[in-house]
Amino acid sequence: MLEAVKYLIGAAGASGFGSKSTAEQVTEACPDLRSITAIITGATSGIGAETARILAKRGAKLILPARNPKAAEETKARIVTEFPDSDIVVMALDLSSLSSVRTFVSEFKSMDLPLNLLINNAGKFSHDHSLSEDGIEMTFATNYLGHFLLTKLLLKKMIETAELTGIQGRIVNVSSSVHSWFSGDAIRYLELITKEKRSYNATRAYALSKLANVLHTMELAVKLKESGANVTANCIHPGVVRTRLTRDREGFVTDLMFFLASKLLKTISQAAATTCYVATHPRLKEVSGKYFADCNEAKASKLASNTQEATRLWLASEAITAERFRFQNHLLF
């Protein structure tokens, strides 16, 4: 009850920020990001677009990969209109396609740019069952697996950039408190909904993808620490906000639901605050493997904190993203 009251009134936590803090407010302590190059997925609308706007305002060079380059160009145009000195590059990327991820990384590397910051923000909620071109359930493929491969392929560049510049690299995975809604065997359920349409539940599939984001972060942070890399990895829950994630279910019922819950919803700027805080705030130097909500460290679910499950998912993800892998013909356990 007390936590709910704190959320509603926007009470500040240990960080000095709370649920009502905006992305602009939390980045005031780091106003100059001109030495930072950042990749932000899902920046064509909503939280991602606001994250891009704020980082551009602070001077960061932005790479905006998008499945719809036209929408990304529109985001770029809006930002440049507001901040004419912004340095923004739009590139093509479909996170549900492993070949598209590989092509994007290859093209990015050919530009010979540094990479200080990777924000894995893009998200999808598939109401209807569908498979990616690689044969993976679409929500999992887009929200988690594409980001897993993207991070893996960019990690060397991030480590090299940190070594050359002395600036600690940061990886931010945007998850959700919905990750706690999933229980059971994650890999078995993924295999089930990939092979059997009748077992598909859209909400549970979404929760699975967000659980995977948290588990990925935890295992990645361990591996980064073991390797001595000057790169951190953290994940965040942005809060409840109406974005284009609900675009497949616009209508009276959806509108009524969000109206009734309006006191619990964040504005887009408030929802982008935790991402921007974790991505930029000086206080979080050396902080890694943590889960944040409302710009403060929070507790992930018991399953999301299970190190054995994190390792198990990592190994399965390595197998699925192998170039010659075909999900339908393999068992992951």
What are the residue numbers of the active site? 200
Of 203, 180, 145, 174, give the one whose Cα is nearest residue 304: 180
Q: In angstroms, rounded to a whole number, what is the distance separating the alpha carbons of residues 307 and 312?
A: 9
Q: In angstroms, rounded to a whole number, what is the distance separating the alpha carbons of residues 301 and 306?
A: 9
Q: In angstroms, rounded to a whole number, what is the distance separating the alpha carbons of residues 287 and 265?
A: 28
Of 141, 150, 163, 43, give the one whose Cα is nearest residue 107: 150
Long-range contacts of 10-16 (CB under 8 A, 24+ apart): 13/294, 13/295, 13/296, 14/296, 14/297, 15/277, 15/281, 15/283, 15/295, 15/296
